[in-house]
Structures are given as C-alpha cells and as structure tokens.
C-alpha cells in the first residue's frame, strides 16, 4: 500500500486521465464525510479500467487505510473485513487457514469495496454467481454521517443498490464474506485446445458441468476459418489434502510505459500463434497452484504499461445465448480486421443465477472480453461498432471496464436504472455516472 | 495455527516455540507489517500505543491473522515517565514471557521548523531519542538477570527502528538525524554490554520508506514499501544480525555517504 499523497490516481486502463482532488487524510477511526465536500467518490485500488473509479473536478476518497481484518469465524466461514482490504491480503491470511474466496475476478489486487461496488465475477460464475452473492452484510456510510447496516434482510433495497453501485450510494466501511473451505492450494486443471468458435460452444456446457472454474482464452487476431480458436481452461480445487501456501509476491514489474507501437496486430498475432501452439495435445491435465490459475497477469506488476502512455480500453460484453454465436463471430471478425492487437481475449458462458445488484453486469449469456490500445481515431469508431452490436443483440457492456459507451446505450443495457437512482447519495458522483447519464 | 506455519517452524534449526513480542508503536506502518508475520506464526503480541480504539482494531486484525493472544496497553510512550509506567502496567507473568521488545514509534518534524522552534525540537529529541532510551533500559535491565542463568536458552532481543539518517547529519535533516544518531550510538554501546548477559540488541536502519511519516514527500526509486521493510525485519529477528540496513543497498549508499570528506559534504544540498 502506498501512503504517498503526492501521486495522482488513475484507473487501470490509464484512459481517460482526469483532473481530480484526492482526500488523503482518512483516519479509519474518525471518518467524517462532511470533510469530503459535495462531490466525492470512494476509490479502492484503481483496478477498474475506464472512468468508473474517477471523478473529474471532484474528490476521490481512497479507502486503502481501511485495511484491517475484523473477525473470522472458521466454523461458518464468515470473514468480516474493512472495505480497503485487498483480495490478495484475504488470500494470504485465509489460504493458510484452509479457506478461499467464493468468487474471485481475474486480479487479486482489488479491494473488497471495489469488488462489491462492481459486483465482480469470476471463472466460476456458472456455479457460484457473483461476488455479491457471497456478501452476507455490509456497513455503508452516507454523506450525512449515517451508517446503514445492509443485507438481504435489512435495508435490502439499499444493499441491492450498493452491490454494483459503483460507489455512488456511499462509502462501504466493512463487509462480511462467506469463504469456502479448501484442503489444498492446488487446482486440478484441464486445458482443451479448440479450433473454432463453434467448437467452443460445443464444449463449453460439457466443461461447465464437470468443472467449478472454466474460461476460454481465444485468439482474436486469426481470421476465418480459424476464427476464435483457443484454449478452454477448466479447474477444480484439488480434493487431495496438501500444502496451503498463499501465492508469492510478483517479482517482475514493468518500470516504464512501453512505446505505443510495440503492441500491434502483427506482434500480437505472433504472440497468439505461439501461445495457441504451446499446448501440443488436444487435452492436457495438470495440477497448478491457484495463483497462476486465477491471476496469470498479476505476476507482472504494472502490466498495463505494455500499452504505452495513451493507455488502453477494455471491451467486455455479455450477449444472450440465442444471439451469442452470431454476435461473437461478428465482433471477432471486426476486431481481427481492425489490426489492433488484443491478446487478452476471454470468452465464458455465464450461469443462470440472477445477480444481486440492481445494476449488476452478469446475466445469462456469453461474455467476451477484449482490449485495444487507445488510438483515438481508430479505437473510438471500433468500440462504437462493437457497442452497437451489443445493443442490437440485447446484450450489455460492463461498467467496470467501460470508457466510451453512450448514455442511450447504457439506458438500454441497464433497464433497472430508475430503481437505482433513488439510492444515490446526494454528494456522490463519478465521471462514469455523469457520462452515461446516471447522474 | 495453520499447517504451513507449522511446516516453517519445524524446518528451522533447533527448537522453535511461540514467541511473545512486546510492541511499542503498534500503529507505525513498518511495525504493523512486521507483526503481521508474527501473528501468522501464532505468536502472542502485546501492543502498546496511545489510542485504545486503534489498538483494539489492530488487535482484532492480528487475531484473525493467527496471533494466539493479543493484549493492549495504553501508554503515552514518549513521556518522561512512560517507560516506568509501561513497565508497571504489564503483569509479572506476562513480563517473563516476553522474548522480543520491538520499538518503532517516532516523529519526523519539518527540519526548518525544528531549527527555529524550541518545543518542536525538544519534542523530536524526546520522542525519537530520550524516551526510546528509557524504554530500552527498562527492558534491558529486566532481561539481564535471565541471561546470567546458563540453563535458560531463550535469547531475548531488543529491536529498535532507528534510521540511516542517524549515520551522518545532513543539511535537510539535522534534528531528526541528531536524535537517531544519538540512538544509534547508545544502541551499539548497549549491544556490547548485552554480550555479557545474552541480550541481543538489534539496530534497524531503514532508508526511505513509503509510510504515513513520508506521505508528503515525493517518492523516488529509492523508496521501499512498508511491506518489504516489515518482512525483512521479521526475517532479521529470526537471525543473528546486530545492525540491519533495510533494504540492503543502504549499507553501500551509507558507506559512500560517510566516506565523503566533510569539505565536500558540507556543500551538498540534500
């Protein structure tokens, strides 16, 4: 954790960069929202991509000083922590004691507050739903100084607004998570190589029936007939009792921004070819530590610098099942034709569980995640086309990743918006909320 | 007690038992990072600080991390009588359990201000040097009779967070440097005295660390995180170091700094 008051705060995509003030004097035992003015937003660890964690012209209230564990009942698995605790810190304490996070996103460097505010999801969505499904209660501080105890049993509507509420309902002080018991830090992993997108759809439901965790990495540079080839990566927590060691700290860090020409269609195409052919056989099983299974990129600190100074944007969409294959094929064709390198392309089928939050992103369908370097004249029209395909297919974009979508699209993707607005704290706002018309 | 900690423990040479650590300055970022590791080994931790609520919050956190027991003692720490008061606060049976006294509280005043302002200057010297000496001596004198008995193999440690700033006075850090310099000299004298009775005195010399104390200072590449520093101190406490430079490269940097002739050094602006 950095105590540095001189640094400016950004989002993970490093786009957009905005001017905002930072309230750096948060004292965990004497929190006074009246000192934050009338336009503030809580800020966790800044791992969301676009502007959902930014507040241009306003104040950000960093929560990382709320970094303590409050209690852990090992009989019930209920862990209560302050909202600034990172998921990585939870793992370093819980794994040696035989417990794991019930849902984890692709990076462990997010705060609990951030995980709730974006209602993050993971590779086990088809079994376990979202992070919000496993939060049994939370304490919310509003700008008038009132603290609300929120859960499905108490202040339910405020709870549902706060889950996926992007910090707009107030500052989460602490929350209780129901952890899951494990007997080993290993994951029994199976990787299946598939040649086409059609094959992905064929094997996806089979994999989801056998495995708790499934996700596909796909090559989005390669054009037809191999469009959408990739690896289906599945895993279960090992049921063989073994060591319970938390992961090691990353040793590799990118100390500076790469030049922006480094990641392009050609270089990424080469990377994808090597990565796809890395596995010779069709099916491969092995046991891996949970760290590289869940958090392959966390091993490189500041990997976002690979995209250069202008930053990058992420496109994550969910398309309902009937339209999914056609829409995903079209999106991949456009992405491949654009020549803009995206080597982090991820595809997964969501489960049927209805999300807890009023504005939660995950819903039944197929989710596709791509990223593109930010080259304003090329990236913006590309993202607009992809956004249109999403809207036309009845899908939605993920606010935690978005930097460009229009207010009209947002309203169509999140029809429950009118239920949410009454719970917004009058003194909370964000760049994202103003851009897409929530505020 | 988790299985992987047990694994660590039986790996160590010789008999290893659950330590009891007395912590002065529990709210310091570096100190917290060190005692998190002790908590994970199931240690018993005695927290001493000024704010009872904050101590309780830290105690709850350490218990979740695995500490076998955590007791809190509210004490001013930097007062002229604080050391004697603290000694009286802790019950005798707990006193006898203490293996490590870890002192990490301090105050970094603005240098220009402390040169002009007498109360601030005196506070800096009292907090960083004089009160620390009193605490150290309370426990050193308590530990000495134990060490004399040869059938007891427990080695008590008094570990104090000083600073590389104490190794040579600089234009921008005269008062704080003086306090830490005095502390370093006292610690090395006491270390020598401690060899008579098996009491280990560890001088911890961090360089630039990213903590609330340096929050207003622009961070350069030499800055280390509190996590890294805290962990290194935890490792050093298991070993036999007398003086710990953390991170390690400060040993080289300070060697050069201390070798620069005064004629040149006095003209440097940092």
Q: Which of A3, A28, A93 sits opposite B65 (nearest CB)?
A: A93
Contacts of A103 (CB under 8 A, 6+ apart): A120, A121, A122, A124, A125, A128, A129, A130, A131, A133, A134
Q: How far is B150 from chain A (nearest CA, A)?
A: 37
Residue showing tokens 């079994």: A127
Contacts of A96 in chain B (CB under 8 A): 2-5, 40, 66
Are B64 and A72 an interchain contact pair (Cβ–Cβ within 8 Å)?
yes
Higher pLDDT, A169 or B12: A169
Is the Cβ of B211 closer than 8 Å to some Cβ of chain A? yes
Mean pLDDT confidence for A141-147: 97
Please, are residues A70 and A82 in contact by the beta-carbon 8 Å criterion? yes
What's the pLDDT score for residue B153? 56
What's the pLDDT score for residue B15? 40
* Edge-to-edge strand ranges of the sheet holding A78-82: A69-73, A78-82, A171-178, A135-141, A147-150
What is the rounded distance in angstroms from the CA atom of residue B197 to the CA atom of residue B141?
10
Q: Which of A309-313, A364-368, B227-231, B247-251 has the weakest average pLDDT?
A: A309-313
What is the rounded distance in angstroms from the CA atom of residue B149 to the CA atom of residue B172?
47
Written as six digits, the tokens of A416 are 């429950």
What's the pLDDT score for residue B270? 81
Is the Cβ of B51 closer than 8 Å to some Cβ of chain A? yes
Q: Which of A4, A244, A245 sits opposite B215 (nearest CB)?
A: A4
Q: How far is B211 from chain A (nearest CA, A)?
A: 5
What is the rounded distance in angstroms from the CA atom of residue A9 to the CA atom of residue A5?
10
Q: Which of A141-155, A180-194, A208-222, B160-174 has the weakest average pLDDT?
A: A208-222
Mean pLDDT confidence for A189-212: 92
Residue showing tokens 């006193």: B95
Please, are residues A56 and A20 in contact by the beta-carbon 8 Å criterion? yes
User: B24-67, pLDDT tens digit by residue?
Assistant: 999 999 999 999 999 999 999 999 999 999 999 999 999 999 99
Mean pLDDT confidence for A415-431: 97
What's the pLDDT score for residue A305? 80
Sign, CA dihedral A106-A120-A353-A437, equals negative
Q: Does the pLDDT of residue A408 top 50, yes or no?
A: yes
For chains A and B, count residue pairs whose Cβ atoms are closer than 8 Å.
67
Q: Does the pLDDT of residue B3 top 50, yes or no?
A: no
Contacts of A2 in chain B (CB under 8 A): 210, 219, 225
Q: Does the pLDDT of residue A52 top 70, yes or no?
A: yes
How much is the mean pLDDT over chain A?
Answer: 92
Give start and end residues of each alpha helix (H) in B149-197.
174-194
Contacts of A22 in chain B (CB under 8 A): none
How much is the mean pLDDT over chain B?
Answer: 90
The greatest distance separating any two alpha carbons of chain B, rounded to the nearest whole angstrom, comes to 58
What's the pLDDT score for residue A423? 98
Contacts of B5 in chain A (CB under 8 A): 96
User: B117-142, pLDDT tens digit by residue?
Assistant: 999 999 999 999 999 999 999 999 99
Q: Which of A93-97, A107-111, A217-221, A386-390 has the weakest average pLDDT?
A: A217-221
Q: How confident is the model at residue A283 (pLDDT cuts 50, 70, 90)?
A: confident
What is the rounded distance in angstroms from the CA atom of residue A89 to the CA atom of residue A67?
9
Q: Is A311 left (phi over 0), alpha (psi -120 to 50) or beta?
A: left
Q: Does the pLDDT of residue B233 top 80, yes or no?
A: yes
Sign, CA dihedral A239-A97-A175-A411, equals negative
User: A70-88, pLDDT tens digit by residue?
Assistant: 999 999 999 999 999 999 9
ipTM of the complex: 0.90
Judge if the upstream peptide bond of residue A16 is cis by omega within 30 degrees of 0.
yes
Contacts of A11 (CB under 8 A, 6+ apart): A46, A48, A49, A50, A51, A52, A53, A54
Written as six digits, the tokens of A421 are 């607005």
Is the Cβ of A251 closer than 8 Å to some Cβ of chain B? no
User: A59-70, pLDDT tens digit by residue?
Assistant: 999 999 999 999
Query: Which residue in chain B is spatially nearest to A72 when comparing CA positions?
Result: B64
Q: How confident is the model at residue B17 (pLDDT cuts 50, 70, 90)?
A: low
Of B208, B243, B214, the C-alpha closest to B228 is B208
Query: Which residue in chain B is spatially nearest to A24 when comparing CA positions?
Result: B215
Q: Which of B51, B60, B210 sits opposite A71 (nearest CB)?
A: B60
Written as six digits, the tokens of B20 are 């009891």
Written as six digits, the tokens of A58 are 């306003």
What is the rounded distance in angstroms from the CA atom of residue A255 to the CA atom of residue A391?
39
What is the rounded distance in angstroms from the CA atom of residue B251 to the CA atom of residue B205?
9
- For chain B, what's the residue count? 270
Are B216 and A28 an interchain contact pair (Cβ–Cβ within 8 Å)?
no
Q: What is the DSSP string of A69-105?
A: EEEEETTTTEEEEETT-BHHHHHHHHGGGTEE-SS--
Q: How far is A73 from chain B (nearest CA, A)?
A: 9
Q: Does the pLDDT of residue B10 top 80, yes or no?
A: no
Question: Cα-Cα-Cα-Cα dihedral of B172, B175, B176, B182, to 10°?
Answer: 130
Mean pLDDT confidence for A184-209: 92
Q: How far is A25 from chain B (nearest CA, A)?
A: 10
Are B215 and A5 an interchain contact pair (Cβ–Cβ within 8 Å)?
yes
Q: Does the pLDDT of residue A221 top 90, yes or no?
A: no
Q: How far is B112 from chain A (nearest CA, A)?
A: 21
Q: Does the pLDDT of residue B20 top 50, yes or no?
A: yes
User: A119-131, pLDDT tens digit by residue?
Assistant: 999 999 999 999 9
User: A230-272, pLDDT tens digit by residue?
Assistant: 899 999 999 999 999 998 777 777 777 778 777 777 787 787 8
Q: Which of A29, A74, A78, A93 to mutate to test the interface with B (most CBs of B within 10 A)?
A: A93
B205-238 b/e with 16+ CB inside 10 Å = b?
Answer: bbbbbbbebbbeeebeeebbbbbbbbbbbbebbe
Distances (CA, A) of A120 to A18, A68, A106, A290, B184: 24, 21, 9, 18, 50
């Amino acid at each position: 954790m950095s105590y540095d008051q001189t640094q400016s705060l950004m989002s993970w995509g490093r786009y957009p960069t905005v001017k905002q003030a930072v309230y750096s004097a948060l004292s965990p035992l004497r929190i006074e929202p009246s000192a934050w003015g009338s336009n503030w937003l809580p800020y966790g660890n800044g791992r969301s991509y676009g502007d959902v964690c930014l507040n241009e012209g306003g104040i950000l209230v960093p929560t990382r000083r709320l970094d303590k564990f409050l209690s852990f009942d090992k009989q019930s698995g209920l862990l209560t922590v302050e909202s600034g605790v990172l998921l990585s810190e939870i793992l370093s304490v819980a794994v040696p004691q035989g417990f794991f996070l019930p849902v984890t996103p692709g990076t462990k460097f997010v705060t609990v507050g951030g995980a709730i505010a974006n209602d993050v999801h993971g590779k086990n969505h088809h079994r376990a739903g979202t992070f919000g499904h496993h939060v049994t209660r939370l304490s919310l501080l509003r700008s008038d100084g009132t603290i609300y105890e929120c859960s499905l049993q108490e202040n339910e509507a405020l709870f549902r607004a706060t889950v996926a509420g992007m910090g707009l309902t107030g500052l989460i002080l602490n929350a209780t998570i129901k952890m899951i018991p494990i007997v080993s830090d290993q994951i029994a992993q199976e990787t299946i190589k598939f040649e086409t997108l059609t094959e992905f759809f064929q094997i996806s439901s089979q994999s989801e029936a056998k495995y708790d965790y499934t996700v596909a990495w796909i090559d989005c540079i390669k054009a037809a007939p191999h469009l959408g080839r990739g690896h289906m990566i599945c895993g279960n927590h090992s049921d063989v009792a073994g060591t319970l060691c938390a992961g090691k700290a990353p040793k590799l860090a990118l100390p500076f921004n790469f030049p922006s020409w480094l990641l392009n269609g050609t270089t990424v195409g080469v990377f994808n070819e090597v990565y796809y052919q890395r596995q010779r056989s069709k099916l491969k099983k092995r046991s891996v530590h949970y760290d590289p299974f869940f958090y392959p990129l966390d091993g490189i600190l500041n990997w976002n610098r690979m995209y250069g100074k202008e930053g990058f944007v992420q496109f994550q969409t969910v398309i309902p099942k009937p339209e999914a294959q056609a829409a995903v094929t079209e999106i991949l064709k456009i992405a491949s034709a654009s020549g803009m390198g995206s080597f982090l392309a991820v595809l997964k089928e969501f489960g049927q569980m209805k999300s807890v939050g009023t504005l939660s992103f995950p819903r039944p369908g197929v989710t596709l995640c791509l990223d593109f370097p930010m080259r304003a004249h090329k990236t913006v029209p590309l993202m607009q086309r992809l956004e249109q395909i999403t809207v036309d297919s009845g899908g939605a974009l993920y606010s935690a990743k978005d930097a460009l979508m229009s207010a009209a699209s947002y309203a169509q993707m999140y029809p429950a918006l009118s239920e949410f607005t009454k719970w917004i704290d009058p003194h909370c706002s964000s760049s994202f909320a103003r851009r897409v018309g929530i505020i | 007690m988790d299985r992987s900690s047990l694994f660590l423990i039986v790996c160590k040479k010789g008999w290893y038992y659950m330590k009891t650590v007395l912590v002065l300055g529990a709210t310091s970022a570096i100190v917290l990072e060190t005692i998190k590791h002790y908590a994970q080994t199931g240690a018993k931790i005695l927290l001493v600080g000024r704010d009872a609520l904050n101590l309780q919050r830290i105690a709850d956190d350490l218990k979740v991390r695995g500490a076998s027991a955590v007791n809190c003692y509210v004490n001013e720490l930097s007062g002229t009588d604080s050391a004697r008061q603290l000694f009286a606060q802790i019950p005798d049976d707990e006193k006898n359990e203490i293996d490590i006294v870890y002192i990490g509280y301090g105050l970094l005043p603005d240098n220009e201000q402390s040169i002009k302002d007498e109360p601030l200057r005196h506070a800096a010297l009292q907090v960083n040097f004089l009160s620390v000496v009193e605490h150290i001596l309370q426990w050193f004198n308590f530990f000495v009779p134990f060490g004399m008995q040869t059938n007891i193999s427990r080695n008590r440690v008094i570990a104090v967070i000083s600073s590389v700033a104490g190794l040579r006075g600089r234009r921008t850090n005269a008062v704080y440097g003086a306090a830490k310099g005095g502390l370093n000299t006292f610690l090395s004298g006491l270390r020598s005295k401690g060899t008579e009775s098996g009491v280990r005195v560890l001088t911890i010399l961090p360089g630039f660390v990213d903590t609330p104390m340096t929050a207003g200072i622009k961070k350069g590449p030499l800055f280390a995180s509190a996590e890294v520093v805290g962990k290194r101190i935890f490792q050093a406490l298991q070993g036999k170091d007398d003086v710990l430079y953390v991170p390690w490269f400060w040993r080289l940097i300070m060697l050069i700094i201390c070798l620069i002739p005064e004629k040149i050094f006095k003209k440097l602006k940092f």
